[in-house]
Structure 1
C-alpha cells in the first residue's frame, strides 16, 4: 500500500473528520460543563451542595472504569460499532440527565453517561488514524489535541451562560443534536470499512477487580480533600481496598490468557515512558486550570465568567499553531517539540509565581496566552510517541490505556491541588499572624489608620492576612509546577526514536522523525 494512502478513505474526509471531532468535543466539554451549574442543580433538586458533587463524581468514576476496557470492547464489537454505540448511548443518557426529576436519577444517568463516554476519545483517535494517510496522521492527532484543549475552556463558560440565561437541563440537551449528527455522519462515511472482531472469553475476575479498584480510587480522589483524607475512616478503607484490588488486578491480568486490559503494552519503551510523561504533564496542566480560577474567584473578586475569560486566551494560539505543527511535526524529533512544550509551560508557571494581589486582568490573560504555545506542542507529539510502536488493534488498546492514565492524572491534580493550596495557606496565615496582636505597635499603627482598634477592623486585618496567605500559597504552587514541568523534560528523552506512526491493520509501517 502506498505511503500516501489511508487504510480506508471515506467518501467525504472533511465530513467524517468534522463528525468525529464534534463527538469528541461534546464528550470532553461534558466533563466540565456541569461544574459551574452544580449550585443551581443542587438547589433545584432540593439537596445539599455536598450531595450535588456526586453529579461530577459519578461521571468521573464510570468514565475511569470504561477507559481501560476500550481495547476489549474494540475486539468484541469493532472500532466503528463501538464508537457509534458510545455516541448514541451518550446522547441518550444526556437527554435523560436533562429529564431527571431527582438527584438520584441524575446521578444514575450521569454515571451511565460517563461510562459510555469512556471509549469515545480513544475510538475517535483510532478512527482518525484510519481515515488519514500515514504522512498526514500528525495533522489528525493535532486536530484532536486542539479539541482537547479548547473544550475544557469553553465548558465552564458555556455552562455558566446556559444556567444563567436558560435552565440547567439545557447543559445536557445541547448534546442531543450534536450526538445525532455525529453518529449519523460517521456511520454514513465509515460503514463500508471492513473490520475484524474476536469473540473472546470474558475475564469476569479482571472486570470485577478493575471496577472495584479504579472505582474506589476515583471516589477517594474526588472526596478525599473534603473528608480530610486518611483521617476519615471511609476514605482510609476505600484506599486500602482499592490498592489491594489494583495490585491483584495487575498480577491477574499479566497471567490471564485473554486479559480484559492488555498491560503487556507497557513492555514497549515509548508507550510506557510516553504515557508516564502524558499523565504527569496533563496533571500539571490540569492543576493550573484548577488553581487559577479558584484564586481569582475566592481571593481576587472575579466572577465565574470573568475568571473564565481570564483563562480563555490559553486556547487561542493552539487554534493557530496546531495545524502548522501537525503538518511539519514529522520533520522534527518529537522529543524536541515536547521539550518546547514543557519549557514554555514551566516558564508560564514561573511568571505566575511573580504575581501579587495587585496583578491586573491583562497580565493574567497575557500569561495564559503565552502558555498556549506550550499547550499547542503538548498533546500531538506526546500522543504520537505513545502510539509510535503499536500495531493494529494495539492502537485502540494503547489509546484507551493512555487516555485512562491522562484522566487519572487530572483526577490526582484535582484533589491534590486544592489540598496543597489550602494547607500552604494555613502555614502562611500562621506565620503572618505571629506578630499581629492588640499590643503590637505595628498592628496598633495600622488599626489607627483604619480608625482605631475595633472588632470590625481586626476582622479587616484578618481578611487582609488571609488574602496575602492565599497569594503566597498560590506562588508556592506555581513554583512547584514550574519545576515539575522542567523535570518532565528529562523523562521524555528516555523515549527512543525513530517514532514510527501507528501501524493499523493491513498497512505497511511508515517511519518518521
Structure 2
C-alpha cells in the first residue's frame, strides 16, 4: 500500500480504511458475543461443560499463529488482497460455526475464524502508517482505537440480545453481511499494489509448525491434567512435546535471518518486561470474560441477555476511562500508570473471588467497574514501555510479538482456569458432602439447602431421596468455590507481575501530542 496525498484519492482510501476497521471490529467483537452465550451453546450442542472454553481458546490460539504471519502475507498478497481473503475466510468460518451441531466441527470453524481475525487486527494498525500521510495518521489511529474499545463494550449485551431474540447461531451469521460489504469496499477503494513473489520462499514453515504443535499440545495437556493427573503418561507426554517444540522453535527462530517472530528483541529488558505484562494481562482479561458467563450461566441460571446486561458494566467503565488513560499516558511515566492499573485490575479480580451461590448482579458491579477502569491503564502504558525505546526498524515486528503475548496469555490462562474449575470441583463436592453428613447446618445454609433437613451436630443419613435433593446444590456450590479459586489465581498473578516494574526504565512522557 502507498501513502495517498491527493484529496479525491485520500477520500477513497478513507472508505477502504473504514471497511478494514469494520473487519477488525467484527474480529474483536466475536470473542465477546460468544462469551455471554457459552451456556446457551453448551445446552444446544450438548457439549460437556469442561470443553466449552475451547470455543475461546481455539480462536485465541489461531490468532497467536496468524499474528506473526501477517507481515509475510502482506508482502506476498498485498495488504488489500490480504484483507479481502481474510474477511472472506472469516465469513465462511462464521457460516460454518452457525451450521455446526457438534463440538468438533464448531471448534474447527472457530480455529478458522481466529486465524482470519488474527490477520485482520494487526493489518488495520499497520495500514494507518502505510495508507495515510503524517497529518492524517492521528485521525486514523483514533478511528481504529475507538472501534477497538467499542467492540468489547457493546459485545456482551449485543451477544446476549442476539441469542435470546433469535438463537446463538446468529452470533456468527451476523458477521456475514458486514463482512461481505467490507470486503467489496476494501477491494474497490484501497490502493492497488503489486504482490512480492520473492516473499514466497521466506517463511520458515517448520518453525510455524512447531509453534502450532507446542500450543495445541500444551492446551490439551492442561485440559487433561485434572482428569488424568499431572503425573499421568498422556499429560507428561504432551508437556514433553510442548517443551521440545518450544526449544526447537526458539533455536530455529534465533538462528534465522528472517524469523516469523523476532525473539532476539526479548533481549531488550524493557521489551521483555512489557511482554510479560501483556501475557499476564491476557490471563486476567480473557479469564474474566470467561469466568463471569460460567458463573452466571451455570450457577445462577441466567440467560444470555441477562449475562450480557450484567457484563456491560465492564465495557462502560473501560469506555469511560479511555480518554483519561490516553491523557495521562502522554504525560506520566508509564511505570506509575502500570503500577496503578495492574493494582486496580488485581483488586477487581480479587473482589470477585468472594462469590457465593446467591451473589447477584448488584454485588458484581464494583469488581467490574474496577476491572473496566483499569484495562486501558494496563494496555496503553505497557505498550509505550515495551516499544518506546526500540529502534524504529524493530517496532513493527516487536509490536506483533507484544500483542501476540496477550493472546497467548489468554489461551494458556483459559486452559489453567478450566483446570482449576473442573479439577477442584470434585474435591469441593466431597468436602461439602462430608460437612452435610456431619449435620453442619451452616454449610447447608451457605449452599441454599433447607436447614430443616439438618440438625446441628448430628450426622445425617444420605438416602437416595436426600442425595437427589442436595446434588444440584452441592454441584453449584462446588463450582462456585472453584471459580473463586480461579479468580484468586488471576488476582495473585496480576499482583506478582508488578515486581518486574523496577527492572524497567522509564520513558519520556509525550506532552506535545
Query: Normalized against structure 2, the TM-score is what?
Result: 0.79
Which residue of structure 2 lines up, in the alignment, with residue 3 of structure 1? none
The Cα of 1:362 is off from its aligned counterpart by 1.6
1:295-314 maps to which residues of 2 (within 5 A)?
295-314=295-314
SS of corresponding position for 2:11: coil
C-alpha contact 1:94 1:109 (8 A) present in aligned 2: yes
Please give the alpha-carbon distance, in whole angstroms, between the structure 1 residues aligned to 2:133 and 2:141: 12
The Cα of 1:339 is off from its aligned counterpart by 2.0
1:474-485 maps to which residues of 2 (within 5 A)?
474-485=483-494
Please give the alpha-carbon distance, in whole angstroms, between the structure 2 residues aligned to 1:300 and 1:75: 50
C-alpha contact 2:61 2:407 (8 A) present in aligned 1: no
Which residue of structure 1 lines up, in the alignment, with residue 452 of structure 2? 449
**342-351 or 199-208: which moved more?**
199-208
The Cα of 1:498 is off from its aligned counterpart by 2.4
C-alpha contact 2:97 2:110 (8 A) present in aligned 1: yes
Per-residue CA distance 1:1-20 (angstroms, 9 max, x = gap):
xxxxx976643787566434
- The 3 A distance-change label for structure 1 pair 44 and 309 is closer
C-alpha contact 1:290 1:417 (8 A) present in aligned 2: no
RMSD (Å) for aligned C-alpha atoms: 4.3
Please give the alpha-carbon distance, in whole angstroms, between the structure 1 residues aligned to 2:450 and 2:107: 50
**268-277 or 80-89: which moved more?**
80-89
Please give the alpha-carbon distance, in whole angstroms, between the structure 1 residues aligned to 2:105 and 2:428: 43
Please give the alpha-carbon distance, in whole angstroms, between the structure 1 residues aligned to 2:53 and 2:450: 41
**197-206 or 373-382: which moved more?**
197-206
Which residue of structure 2 lines up, in the alignment, with residue 213 of structure 1? 214
* 2:497 maps to 1:496: no
Which residue of structure 2 lines up, in the alignment, with residue 203 of structure 1? 204
Query: Normalized against structure 1, the TM-score is what?
Result: 0.79
C-alpha contact 2:94 2:173 (8 A) present in aligned 1: yes
Per-residue CA distance 1:423-473 (angstroms, 9 max, x = gap):
444445544555543688999999883488674456556655555555544
The Cα of 1:208 is off from its aligned counterpart by 3.1
The Cα of 1:186 is off from its aligned counterpart by 4.6
- The 3 A distance-change label for structure 1 pair 32 and 499 is same
Please give the alpha-carbon distance, in whole angstroms, between the structure 2 residues aligned to 1:51 and 1:472: 19
Per-residue CA distance 1:338-380 (angstroms, 9 max, x = gap):
2221121122233334544444322212331232210232222
Per-residue CA distance 1:386-411 (angstroms, 9 max, x = gap):
33245566444223322322111111
SS of corresponding position for 1:364: helix
- The 3 A distance-change label for structure 1 pair 305 and 212 is same
The Cα of 1:157 is off from its aligned counterpart by 4.7
- The 3 A distance-change label for structure 1 pair 211 and 192 is same
SS of corresponding position for 2:177: helix
Which residue of structure 1 lines up, in the alignment, with residue 293 of structure 2? 293
Please give the alpha-carbon distance, in whole angstroms, between the structure 2 residues aligned to 1:377 and 1:164: 34
**197-206 or 300-309: which moved more?**
197-206
- The 3 A distance-change label for structure 1 pair 188 and 385 is farther
- The 3 A distance-change label for structure 1 pair 146 and 451 is same
State the aligned residue count: 498
- The 3 A distance-change label for structure 1 pair 498 and 439 is closer
* 2:28 maps to 1:19: no
Please give the alpha-carbon distance, in whole angstroms, between the structure 2 residues aligned to 1:397 and 1:354: 41
**280-289 or 446-455: which moved more?**
446-455
**36-45 or 268-277: which moved more?**
36-45
Which residue of structure 1 lines up, in the alignment, with residue 68 of structure 2? 68
Please give the alpha-carbon distance, in whole angstroms, between the structure 2 residues aligned to 1:473 and 1:168: 27
- The 3 A distance-change label for structure 1 pair 495 and 447 is closer
Per-residue CA distance 1:31-69 (angstroms, 9 max, x = gap):
354466678778888998889887666544433322232
Which residue of structure 2 lines up, in the alignment, with residue 325 of structure 1? 325
- The 3 A distance-change label for structure 1 pair 43 and 362 is closer
**454-463 or 311-320: which moved more?**
454-463
The Cα of 1:512 is off from its aligned counterpart by 7.8
Which residue of structure 2 lines up, in the alignment, with residue 89 of structure 1? 89
- The 3 A distance-change label for structure 1 pair 145 and 487 is farther
The Cα of 1:248 is off from its aligned counterpart by 0.8
The Cα of 1:219 is off from its aligned counterpart by 4.2
Which residue of structure 2 lines up, in the alignment, with residue 224 of structure 1? 224
C-alpha contact 1:498 1:511 (8 A) present in aligned 2: no
C-alpha contact 1:286 1:410 (8 A) present in aligned 2: yes
- The 3 A distance-change label for structure 1 pair 420 and 137 is farther
C-alpha contact 2:279 2:405 (8 A) present in aligned 1: yes
The Cα of 1:240 is off from its aligned counterpart by 1.9
Please give the alpha-carbon distance, in whole angstroms, between the structure 1 residues aligned to 2:297 and 2:411: 21
**84-93 or 188-197: which moved more?**
188-197
Please give the alpha-carbon distance, in whole angstroms, between the structure 2 residues aligned to 1:55 and 1:441: 39
Per-residue CA distance 1:99-145 (angstroms, 9 max, x = gap):
66887765554433332222222222322355678799788767656
The Cα of 1:225 is off from its aligned counterpart by 5.8
The Cα of 1:244 is off from its aligned counterpart by 0.7
Structure 2: segments with no counterpart, 5+ residues: none
Please give the alpha-carbon distance, in whole angstroms, between the structure 2 residues aligned to 1:421 and 1:102: 23
Per-residue CA distance 1:184-211 (angstroms, 9 max, x = gap):
4455665179999963534233233233
**437-446 or 13-22: which moved more?**
437-446
C-alpha contact 1:65 1:215 (8 A) present in aligned 2: no
Please give the alpha-carbon distance, in whole angstroms, between the structure 1 residues aligned to 2:360 and 2:163: 28
Please give the alpha-carbon distance, in whole angstroms, between the structure 2 residues aligned to 1:305 and 1:328: 35
Structure 1: segments with no counterpart, 5+ residues: 1-5, 501-509
The Cα of 1:315 is off from its aligned counterpart by 0.5
- The 3 A distance-change label for structure 1 pair 217 and 157 is farther
Please give the alpha-carbon distance, in whole angstroms, between the structure 2 residues aligned to 1:413 and 1:440: 35
Please give the alpha-carbon distance, in whole angstroms, between the structure 2 residues aligned to 1:43 and 1:421: 19
Per-residue CA distance 1:143-201 (angstroms, 9 max, x = gap):
65665555356545544543444355433332122223433445566517999996353
- The 3 A distance-change label for structure 1 pair 308 and 329 is same
